[in-house]
Amino acid sequence: MKKIGFIGLGIMGKPMAKNLIKAGYLLVVYDIIPALADELKVLGAEVALSPKDLVEKCETIITMLPNGPEVKEVIIGANGILEASGTGGIIIDMSSISPIVSKEMHEACKKKGVRFMDAPVSGGEPKAIDGTLAIMVGCDKDIFEKYGPILKVMGGSVVRTGEIGSGNVTKLANQIIVALNIAAVSEAFTLATKAGVDPEQIFNAIKGGLAGSTVMNAKVPLILDRNFKPGFKIDLHIKDLANALDTAHSIGVPVPLSSAIMEIMQALHIDGKGQNDHGGIVQFYEKLAKIEVKK
């Protein structure tokens, strides 16, 4: 079995890499913070010294990085993937970045004879751990058919949404919907709590109706327990919304609701809550209403 390279072992990347190892794949891993690779080394992964070192050991490379600048640094920077790549390899970028950057990286890879796929994910840490992420893929059909089985180890839903960049366009749409859903839940449950009604009973009453959603089911129990341990940080959602706003403005699409939730998240960041889970959006409303949504 050929080795797979995996670059980026953070909150999402590490459990995704673990699932590949559990499925029997041989991994070569790299992270800018060397200690993050220790746990995977114990599981049998080989640790590379740089992206260039990693690509010399394998042709299939997965990247799971914070944003576009990091993706560009790893792919086209000094000691990056393309500095050492021969023809015939593939980069599967699972980072959530601007589709514009995805297309730039695709063009850079094409010049070196390397294939490229943008395959961002949704589901946060819990779904990364249990291998049920939603994976949105942009690439040629033949690439999707060839590498889809690898993605299915990490995802419960793996859908090709179109050509290069379409995966990240889909992810931006996803992040807009998730952010606004959390904001709506936060606003509604703050209102209910201030009105003197038990928020847990409201949740039980409405979760099976039209207002119910995967977002509400996932976030309300955590809010009620005052658990804002990050599955997906507010600061990371700010990054995704910034990409969404930039993309929308570049193609002439007004996004007033996305702009509003971006400002709410920016306020939370300034208030020192950027490392909280994005369910912590409720704290913006709670501060204004002088109330806590809890059991």
Contacts of 47 (CB under 8 A, 6+ apart): 28, 29, 30, 34, 37, 40, 41
pLDDT of residue 2: 81
Listed as own residue / partner, the contacts of 222-226 with beta carbons closer than 8 Å and 24 or more positions apart are 222/277, 222/279, 223/185, 223/186, 223/189, 223/279, 223/282, 223/293, 223/294, 224/199, 224/200, 224/293, 224/294, 224/295, 225/294, 225/295, 226/292, 226/294
pLDDT in the model for residue 10: 94
pLDDT for 87 equals 66
Active site residue 171: yes
* Helices (H) then strands (E): counts for the chain: 14, 9
Are 101 and 71 within 8 A, CB to CB?
A: yes
Classify burial at 1, counting beta carbons within 10 Å of its beta carbon; exposed 0-12, middle 13-18, buried 19 or more.
exposed
Assign residue 116 a region (left: φ > 0; alpha: ψ between -120 and 50; beta: otherwise): beta
**pLDDT of the residue at 46:** 97
For the chain (295 residues), the mean pLDDT of every run of 10, in chain order, is: 92 97 97 95 95 91 96 94 83 96 96 96 93 97 96 98 98 97 98 98 97 96 97 93 96 98 98 97 98 97
CA distances from 225 to 92, 123, 232, 265, 288 (A): 37, 20, 17, 21, 20
DSSP, residue by residue, 68-102? HHHHHHHHHSTT-HHHH--TT-EEEE-S---HHHH
**Residue 3 CB contacts under 8 Å (≥ 6 apart), including other chains:** 25, 26, 27, 28, 46, 57, 58, 60
* Beta strand spans in 146-292 (E): 155-162
Q: Where in the chain is the domain with CATH 3.40.50.720?
A: 4-164
Q: Tokens 């990091």: give the residue.
A: 70
Task: Please state, in angstroms and rounded to a whole number, the distance separating the CA atoms of residues 203 and 217.
Answer: 8
CATH of 4-164, one of 3.40.50.10310, 3.40.50.720, 3.30.200.20, 3.30.460.10: 3.40.50.720
**Which part of the chain is CATH 1.10.1040.10?**
169-289
Read off the DSSP letter of residue 37.
G
54 Cβ contact list (under 8 Å, min separation 6) = 5, 7, 28, 29, 30, 48, 61, 81
**How far apart are alpha carbons 97 and 95 in whole angstroms?**
6
| The pLDDT value given to residue 179 | 98
Q: How far apart are CA 167 and CA 176, in angstroms?
A: 15
Which pLDDT score is estimated for 81? 93
Q: Please state which CATH number belongs to domain 169-289.
A: 1.10.1040.10
Exactly one of 14, 18, 52, 171 is catalytic; name it. Answer: 171
